[in-house]
Amino acid sequence: MDVKAIVIWCIIGLLAGWIASFIVGGGGLFRYLLTGLIGAFVGGFLVKATGISINIGHPLVNEILVAAIGAIVVVLIARMLA
């Protein structure tokens, strides 16, 4: 994995975490990144498991949306467990 891919992952994670915190609350740069990156895995799993096809137009926007959905799920589960 090259540096460019890692930077893109981090940007997607930050944006997804920010979107999730905007919808369900929370904050902080590190928290955005953490929930966004974990949410990317959870969102990808949920999308594949349910068979939902998300096609907004641009592949990067699709990935951010899937990661944001996963991040929202992660935040809500974390709140239920805490």
In the structure, what pLDDT confidence band is assigned to residue 69 with cuts at 50, 70 and 90? very high
Model pLDDT for residues 28-60, shown as the tens digit of each residue: 888 888 888 999 999 999 999 999 888 888 999
Query: Using an 8 Å Cβ cutoff, are 69 and 43 in contact?
Result: yes
The whole-model pTM stands at 0.87
Q: Which uninterrupted H or E stretch holds 37?
A: helix 29-50
- Whole-number pLDDT of residue 6: 85
Residues spanned by the domain of 41? 3-81
First and final CA of the chain: distance in angstroms?
35
- pLDDT value at 26 more than 80: no
Residue 76's identity, in one-letter code, is L
